[in-house]
Structure 1
Amino acid sequence: MIISYNELHNRNLHISGLLNEEKVDIEDKKVDIESGKVDIQDKKVDIESVLTEKVSNFSVKTTTHIRSLFEKFGFDEIFGRSAVMELLDLKGSGASKLLSNLVQAEIIEPVSGHGKGKYKFRK
């Protein structure tokens, strides 16, 4: 068996001058980001008002965990057991039990389409 090698040299890899040498001027237009300010305070939801009747059966520690989770994830973020473990410094079984209790209390709900065991807060 004979193996031949082809050496690559820069002199053989030059591209002809067919490239467009024209530069694009990107400094002509500036975007005004100040005029489109959004007031996010109007959409802020108080977790206390949402959870008042639902957390009455939970301990102070669990209620603190719920508040910590809500501060981190809010209504729009999706989270799973590993995120709960990391945020609250819980072991796997403790995080699973907390999530199970929150689902039963209808505080969080399972989310489909993001993998097994993903949740978000109910509005």
Structure 2
Amino acid sequence: MFRKAEITEKFMKNIKIIFVECGTEKVFGQTNVMEWLLCSKSKATNVMNAMKAAGVIEKVSGLGAGKYKFIEL
């Protein structure tokens, strides 16, 4: 999945940090990613876009805009 989406090693590291924080059950958003990676809003957006492109997260409805969770494989 990650190779197909051309995810870099740095993004892989960041995605792993996010996954460790929330697993497949916890819903997260951009603010959470910013907190966990200690990064800017734009970097959090880039990481989330990479995860969407790789198909490892899915949008969650009913909890507000921009909420996602990891897909169980």
Common topology (TM > 0.5): yes
What aligned pairs does 1:25-64 form with structure 2 within 5 A after superposition? Answer: 54-56=1-3, 57-64=6-13
**Structure 2 residue aligned with 1:16:** none
Q: Could you tell me how far 1:103 is from its partner in structure 2?
A: 1.0
Answer 1 or 2: which has greater helix percent: 2
Structure 1: unaligned runs, 5 residues or longer: 1-53
**Structure 1 residue aligned with 2:32:** 83
Read off the aligned partner of 1:55 and give its amino acid letter.
F
Structure 2: unaligned runs, 5 residues or longer: none
Q: Which runs of 4+ in 1 moved over 2 A?
A: none
User: How many Å separate the matches in 2 of 1:121 and 1:112?
Assistant: 14
TM-score (norm 2): 0.89
Q: Could you tell me how far 1:90 is from its partner in structure 2?
A: 1.2
User: How many Å separate the matches in 1 of 2:58 and 2:50?
Assistant: 11
- The secondary structure found in structure 1 opposite 2:65 is coil
TM-score (norm 1): 0.54
Asked if 1:121 corresponds to 2:45, the answer is no
% identical equivalent positions: 34
Read off the aligned partner of 1:68 and give its amino acid letter.
I
How many residues align? The count is 70
CA RMSD of aligned residues (A): 0.9
